[in-house]
Chain A
């Protein structure tokens, strides 16, 4: 086992410049020929936050418990959005990666396992950019960071891992059943509204609270809200649960990949 693993690892390691170059190209390709470049990554979630804040903040701010700042609602919204955006973007990256990179997979022999690494790398950089811009907005609103922000790198990695592992599984299936790529965004839209991001769980009648326990993404966004807005530790067992789910999807994706890899290029 180890005897086989070492040359494979060395082979992958020889492609480290490729990974770097691919991540750089990926980021540049997203905003090629646009003047504002990476700023656009922030515009969409911020626009959404602005809309909800303007429409809903006066109705809802009074109902957000345990908060001291007057900007509690926009910060609540933005921290939830940060977790959601990282998760859903990573999921969509994983979903599209095989079909988008189809030409490359068909034409060039390189370690395929590096594709998710590249996706994770570019999603991390995007996520970090999004986070730093949101932090700038928080500072502007007078909401200062504290020690609990140290959770953020770990939470970001967890959100990306969870999204990517789920995305990869459906991405592999999508090579064979292209409907999946159309269906997933619809499901995500439902999931977004089933997750307390725009509203708080405390605003809903208590009898519905039980259903939200079944939504793991709600645990993810809650962790972001805990750390950023409430400035407290997230529930550890939630993080363990999310990590376990991500692990299960990673194993399922790897298992499905091994089963379909000999057919993959034929269907791209």
Chain B
């Protein structure tokens, strides 16, 4: 595979001068004092290969957008370099410098020229842009009369009118209505399948996992982790869940089947064992049938006195998308004032109304109704199981939602009245 983006020792600093005179001295090439560099990103090294889809995640202020802008070429690096071998199109923000007084068509034409297209090429692409944007008659009205969603449609249609070798998308998918989000997502996938390399910033875990081959996690302006989307997203979520907690730790552990499970927490209470049983026979199982009654057992040990304990779980599918989740807060069984040394055994009973496939449980013990605060222990991939369809008719999807069916026949009479 050939390298399309090569980032070497890349850094961006915003330089502040103590006074105007110091800035002017720097223009004249004179010695300056008191100049401070605030580094937003530093010492970044990575490569993106042809045809790869790379996700970029990190908290606000981690430097994601700055990095994308440097790769797109709108921000200049302070140190290091970005090498690009191919044409790059970036959807960074709304607008692309569009003018509200001009019509969608005029702006689209100008937007295409901004990509370095000739008049003929731009003219040839306009019908496609118009068709994709689906703004109807508005295409020939001034842009200032557009809603932000309509502006987004035109921007996206222009930016993707010609398939670039590298497409950079910064949260653009989060704008617009559900229909267009879906449509633009499909367009991005199409480009990816046609060989376009993608670089995407998104907070949408589902989107990242469906598209990306690799995820880079930025933390405080540096690459803190890089690798398989599922693993990095688990780690990132665990990291977010425990922000600002000193005691807190995050570990990743490789399971026997090669998957990586992330555990985290402050450790006042720990999850000792998570296992799945048949609710009827009480036998441990790894393979369940659709509709079977199951029991999830979670054993906990209390190490330190805690005021409040909530235990919850999420069933996740193969792509680690949430299928169902609940906790003892929602089940009205929160426990209070627990003493060190206690052991608790939780048994959740439910019917396995899931489609065929492989699933896992993420289990967490925490203080509030969500795991975001006071996370004692959180375990991804705590237990995995397989669902097979043994005794139901064939169906699609991850959920078992059997309908009953009624069909009404009626005949419409036409012609003259009797």
Contact = CB atoms under 8 A, between A and B. Distances in A.
Interface residues of B, number: 35
The binding surface of chain A is classed by DSSP as helix
| Highest count of chain A CB atoms <10 Å: which of B27, B29, B72 | B27
B27 A110 contact: no
A264 B110 CA distance: 24
Given A17-B113, A21-B109, A259-B27, A107 B76 contact: no
A194 to B, nearest CB: 26
Given A17-B119, A108-B114, A109-B88, A265 B76 contact: yes
Nearest to B26: A259
A107 B91 CA distance: 9
B97 A33 contact: no
A25 B23 CA distance: 35
Contacts of A25: 99, 102, 106, 110
Contacts of A261: 76
A18 B116 contact: yes
Contacts of B114: 18, 108, 110
Nearest to A103: B97
Contacts of B27: 256, 259-260
A262 B113 contact: no
B382 interface: no
A42 interface: no
A262 B76 contact: yes
Given A109-B73, A109-B74, A262-B76, A17 B97 contact: no
A106 B29 CA distance: 26
Contacts of A32: 101-102
A195 to B, nearest CB: 29
A107 B93 contact: yes
A21 B74 contact: no
B161 interface: no
A18 B116 CA distance: 7
A189 B117 CA distance: 42
A177 B24 CA distance: 10
Contact of B15 (A109, A263, A265): A263
A207 interface: no
A109 B15 CA distance: 22
A29 B74 contact: no
A256 B27 CA distance: 7
Nearest to B89: A109
A28 interface: yes
Contact of A101 (B97, B106, B110): B97
Contact of B97 (A104, A176, A256, A264): A104
A105 interface: yes
B95 interface: yes
A14 interface: yes
Interface residues of A, number: 34
Interface string B77-102: 11000000000101011011101011
Contacts of B110: 18, 21-22, 25
A159 B207 CA distance: 56
B14 interface: yes
A109 B75 CA distance: 9
B75 A18 contact: no
B20 A262 contact: no
| Highest count of chain B CB atoms <10 Å: which of A14, A101, A110 | A110
B188 interface: no
A107 B99 contact: no
Interface string A100-126: 010111111110000000000000000
Contact of B74 (A16, A18, A101, A105): A105
Given A17-B113, A21-B110, A104-B97, A176 B23 contact: yes
B173 interface: no
A262 B101 contact: no
Nearest to A26: B99
A266 interface: yes
A107 B76 CA distance: 13
Contacts of A11: 116
A263 B14 CA distance: 8
Q: Top 3 nearest A-B pairs by Cβ distance?
A: A104-B97, A109-B73, A262-B76
Given A25-B106, A263-B76, A265-B76, 10 more contacts: A18-B113, A21-B109, A25-B102, A28-B101, A29-B102, A106-B69, A107-B97, A108-B97, A177-B20, A260-B27
Interface of A: 11, 14-18, 20-22, 25, 28-29, 32-33, 101, 103-110, 176-177, 256, 259-266
16 contacts: A14-B116, A16-B118, A17-B122, A18-B116, A21-B110, A28-B102, A29-B99, A29-B102, A107-B74, A107-B93, A108-B114, A109-B88, A110-B114, A176-B23, A256-B27, A261-B76
